[in-house]
A and B are shown apart, each in its own frame.
Chain A
Amino acid sequence: MQEHDVAWVRTEMALAQAAPSSAVGPNAWVRKNLFASPIDTVLTLIAALAVVWFLPQILNWLFFSAVWSGADRTACLTTEQGGQLPAGWSGACWPFVEARFGQFMFGRYPLEERWRVILTGVIFIALLIPLLTPSAPFKKLNAILFFVVFPFVAFFLLVGGYFGLSYIETPLWGGLMVTLVISYVGIVVSLPLGILLALGRRSKMPIIKMLCVVFIEAIRGVPLVTVLFMASFMLPLFVPPGMTFDKLLRALIGVALFSSAYMAEVVRGGLQAIPKGQYEGADSLGLGYWQKMGFIVMPQALKLVIPGIVNTFIGLFKDTTLVLIISMFDLLGVVKQSISGDPTWATPQTAKTGYVFAAAIFWIFCFSMSRYSMFMERRLDTSHRK
């Protein structure tokens, strides 16, 4: 054994020490995430100032200074404008939304018949929730009910004229109800039509392929407003004189054609991602074209593009607002109408309040759809990511 000439040698392991306070705890988090470098510090300070400046103002406008009850415009006017509120007041005028809430939801649908709309909505939700829950059973039956049976039920309930229900003409419809009807019809029509167009675009028959390409590109190249414009001004020209088209139907045709062109491109993306071997495998089993597509290719392709399809739905939902340009009253249309054409509630804050309310509704719908799409994306993602 060699003799050590050092005075002291440690024989046991040193105990692990707690991490320095600069590396753990809230202090470290703040340093790492907010003040990592001088530039970061400056950015944080600017951003914090902006938040401190804007957030209280926004919250104040929305809640703390807002007026919550009142019968007409005087509730939301300052003393200079003829009301009771202090000069310089600014806040949301929620009684306006409360007073017009029925219109925002149903338009001019007769009061005593509104239960029909509510019933339709309840059926819609009752069918939609199990369809969206991956673990719920009877998916096929559910899908048939939702996409095939429900449209008829909804049609009879909303339009009426049969089974003792009174007939409600579509110009009386309005509000969120019209927004949902247009989006639902757009979705139900555009999915199959889009699949057909996508198949046509990849077809080996040159004429069919050309027709599909021309249709898809022409629709995708022009704004929806133009398509709606065509649907509302040119469709009546195309049919024999004397035959009239319901205005809502015209808008529905325009929206459905428009979204099916976009849907076709999404589906085409899925079709292209299916390896050639799948097509050849189906061929070698002796399956015909529709069998091959229906049993082998489409199930795989559609699964791949579910996020894309949901994104198209979100776009479609937002695009329904454009029907106000052909003077129809969807949610935004009704809000706009009650803002500009209603002296009972004409105050400087009315417009902002109404639009913020409509924005909140649209936002809730679109945001939940996008979250659902992300959830599905993660669920269907079978790849191994680090």
Chain B
Amino acid sequence: MSVRQWKGNDMATQDVLPAGRSEKVSLLYDPRARSIFFQVLIVALLVLGGWWIVENTLENLRRSNIQTGFAFLKGRAGFDILTSLIPYSSDSTFGRAIVVGILNTALVAVTGIIAATIIGFLVGVGRLSNNWLIRKIATVYVELFRNIPPLLVILFWYQGVLSLLPNVRDSYSLPLSSFLNNRGFYLPRPVWGEGSWLILVGLVLGIIFSWFVARWARARQVETGQQFPVIWTSVALILGMPFLGFVLGGFPLTFDLPQKGTFNLTGGANIKPEFLSLFLALSFYTAAFIAEIVRAGIMGVPRGQTEAYSALGIRPSQGLRLVVIPQAMRIIIPPLTSQYLNLTKNSSLAVAIGYPDLYAIGGTILNQTGQAIEVVVIFMAVYLSLSILTSLFMNWFNAKMALKER
């Protein structure tokens, strides 16, 4: 078969020809023309659909007399919020209410992430333990918590456990003069006196010093091979310097203890049951997933690595720290990031029990003002930027831990 014949017989060769160069190619079979046609078609459909939606929306809004725009944020909120990190009253603006919501979401997210990471790492290591009992308990924990919807767990804690606690008069007294009742957990609140800024200064100095020590120790190890106990020095510095500040400032710390009266508990810090149930449920739920990630990460380090450090005469404790964990972290960090994001997003379940997170407050505002679109835009903006912030941080951390090939 000659080349000419073969070319003429097979249509597929036409696709290989660069578009536009051959006159013989029909426009219908030109991939470039097709691609442009489809994209223009899609854009046209989207524009039409979008226009239809916008038209309808404007019409609907006009019918129900709703103003568009963010001007409503300056209006008086008129509703109370259960817990707030910043001063807030019902006379504050809608804008401030939303800030309160964002802060509450961030509070649950940050505390939840810390707790979930600690529990998750413990359980994940527990699942690989040589101890049969520990291994089984860890397995039961993981299988139990990751197969139950988090919302159900939140409701269970809230309605099933915390709201059944005794009322204020019969509060459980716990050590360190804290109390537990159906209004939450009452703790002594630290009151910082004059001169407590020295503690903060001490903390900052401690962190800066330990950074320098770490740098110096690394340089010395590279040069001479001698190791320096960086971790213990840093712990001593970071704890010791604030303590020094504490002493120098003349012990400027007192505690505001919760006082039990006949009808009420006064003073102290109060952790609301809403926060407590959300925090417990989310951190236990996410911890089950983190445990699996940690287990997979540690198992993902080849056994040869363990054998190699044993052959080099490195002790297991050191080998774990210097060989296994750094490699496991590379596997762990990317999925860990998405778990952190999941926890942050799941904090919106707070609305089911009335913890005033961003979503709950947004919902209240929507009910009062009817500004559905603006509220949704705020939701999207805040959650997306939280997601982006978390993933930026985790990407930075990941890049730091990633394999550096020279």
Chain A residues with CB under 8 Å of chain B are 32-34, 36, 40, 43-44, 47-48, 50-51, 204-208, 211, 218, 220-226, 229-230, 233-234, 236-241, 285-286, 314, 318-319, 321-322, 324-325, 332, 336, 339-340, 348, 351-352, 355-356, 358-359, 362-363, 366-367, 370
Q: Is the CB of B133 within 8 A of A47?
A: yes
Contact between A366 and B42 (Cβ–Cβ < 8 Å)? Answer: no
Q: List 12 A-B contacts (CB under 8 A).
A: A43-B134, A47-B131, A50-B137, A205-B39, A225-B349, A226-B348, A230-B376, A233-B376, A234-B376, A286-B11, A319-B149, A324-B151
Is the Cβ of B149 less than 8 Å from the Cβ of A238?
no
CA distance A51 to B42 in the complex (A): 61
Query: Which residues of chain B are within 8 angstroms of A222 by Cβ–Cβ distance?
Result: 345, 379-380, 383-384
In the complex, are the beta carbons of A355 and B60 less than 8 A apart? no
For residue B388, which residues in chain A have a CB less than 8 angstroms away from its CB?
221
Closest residue of chain A to B138, judged by CB? A47
Known: A222-B345, A325-B352. 16 other contacts (CB 8 A): A32-B130, A34-B133, A207-B39, A208-B38, A218-B380, A222-B384, A226-B380, A226-B383, A230-B376, A234-B372, A239-B56, A240-B59, A286-B10, A325-B349, A352-B161, A359-B153
Contact yes or no, B156 A359, CB < 8 A = yes
- Lowest 6 A-B CB distances belong to which pairs? A286-B12, A366-B147, A33-B132, A223-B345, A352-B160, A318-B149
Contact partners of B387 in chain A: CB under 8 A: 220-221
B3 within 8 A of A: no
Q: Does B359 contact A (CB under 8 A)?
A: yes
Please give, as numbers and ranges, the residues of chain A lying within 8 Å of B151 by CB-CB distance.
321-322, 324, 332
Q: Which of A206, A218, A238, A370 is the one whose CB lies under 8 Å from B147? A: A370
Q: Determine if B53 is an interface residue (Cβ-Cβ < 8 Å).
A: yes
Query: How far, in angstroms, from A51 to B383 measured CA to CA in the complex?
Result: 40
Shortest beta-carbon distance from A42 to chain B in Å: 10
**Does B394 reach chain A (CB closer than 8 Å)?**
no
Q: How far is the CA of A191 from the CA of B112 in the complex (A)?
A: 32
Instruction: For residue A202, give the distance in angstroms from its CB to the closest CB of chain B.
Output: 14
B-chain residues with CB within 8 Å of residue A325 when the two chains form the complex: 349, 351-352
The smallest C-beta distance from A314 to any residue of chain B, in angstroms, reads 8
What residues on B are CB-neighbors of A348 within 8 Å? 164
Q: Is the CB of B363 within 8 A of A229?
A: yes
Complex: how many Å from CA A222 to CA B377?
11
CB of B150 within 8 Å of the partner chain: yes
A332 to chain B, nearest CB (A): 6
Q: In the complex the two chains form, is B160's CB within 8 Å of A204's CB?
A: no
What separation, in Å, do the CA atoms of A370 and B152 have in the docked complex? 19
In B30-65, which residues have CB < 8 Å from any A CB?
A: 35, 38-39, 42-43, 46, 53, 56-57, 59-61, 63
A40 contacts B42, CB within 8 Å?
Answer: no
**A147 to nearest B CB, angstroms?**
25
A34 vs B134: C-alpha distance when bound (angstroms): 9
Kindly identify, within residues 133 to 180 of chain B, every residue whose CB is under 8 Å from any CB belonging to chain A.
133-134, 137, 143-144, 146-153, 155-156, 159-161, 163-164
Chain A residues lying within 8 Å of B132, measured Cβ to Cβ, are: 33-34
| Cβ B57 vs Cβ A33 within 8 A | no
Find the B residue at minimum CB distance from A320: B149
Alpha-carbon gap, A335 to B379, bound state (A) = 29
| Residues on B with beta carbons closer than 8 Å to the beta carbon of A226 | 348, 359, 376, 379-380, 383
Check: B346 CB closer than 8 A to any chain A CB: yes
Tell me, in angstroms, the Cα distance from A156 to B237 when the chains sit together. Answer: 72
> Is there a chain A Cβ closer than 8 Å to B373's Cβ?
yes
B379 nearest CB neighbor, chain A only: A226
Of B130, B137, B152, which one neighbours A332 at CB under 8 angstroms? B152
- In angstroms, Cα B137 to Cα A324, docked, is 32
Are B56's CB and A238's CB within 8 A? Answer: yes
Asked if B366 is an interface residue, CB under 8 A from chain A, the answer is yes
CB pair A321 B152 closer than 8 Å: yes
Chain A residues with CB below 8 A from B134, complex form: 43-44, 47
A208 touches B376 (CB 8 A): no
Distance in Å: Cβ of B244 to nearest Cβ of chain A: 34
Indicate which residue in A48, A207, A237, A239 contacts B43 across the interface (CB closer than 8 Å). A207
Choice from B15, B147, B383 contacting A221 with Cβ under 8 Å: B383
- CB <8 Å contact, B152 and A36: no
CA distance A230 to B366 in the complex (A): 12
Question: What residues of B have a CB within 8 angstroms of the CB of A240 in the complex?
Answer: 56, 59
Docked CA distance A366–B59 (Å): 44
Say yes or no: A340 contacts B159, CB within 8 Å. Answer: yes
Q: Contacts A33-B131, A204-B35: A225 and B348 contacting too (C-beta < 8 A)?
A: yes
The reply to whether A205 and B149 contact each other, CB–CB distance below 8 Å, is no
Of A50, A238, A324, A332, the contact of B53 (CB 8 Å cutoff): A238
Instruction: Tell me which residues across on chain A come within 8 A of B129, comparing CB atoms.
Output: 43
Query: Who on chain A is nearest to B153 by CB?
Result: A359
A237 near B60 with CB under 8 A, answer: yes
Q: With A and B bound together, what is the CA distance between A36 and B53 in angstroms?
A: 68
Picked from A234, A319, A355, the residue with its CB within 8 Å of the CB of B156 is A355
Residues of B within 8 A of A236 (CB): 60
Given contacts A223-B346, A286-B12, contact A367 B143 (CB under 8 A): yes
Which A residue sits closest to B370, measured CB to CB?
A233
Which of B10, B11, B35, B43 is most buried by chain A, counting CB atoms within 10 A of its CB?
B35
Contacting pair A237 B144 (CB below 8 A): no
CA A339 – CA B132 in complex, angstroms? 40
- Indicate which residue in A32, A33, A211, A237 contacts B372 across the interface (CB closer than 8 Å): A237
The verdict on A223 contacting B348 (CB below 8 Å), with A34-B131, A43-B131, A233-B372 known, is yes
Using an 8 Å CB-CB cutoff, how does the interface string of B327-351 with A read, 1 for contact, 0 for none?
A: 0000000000000000001111101
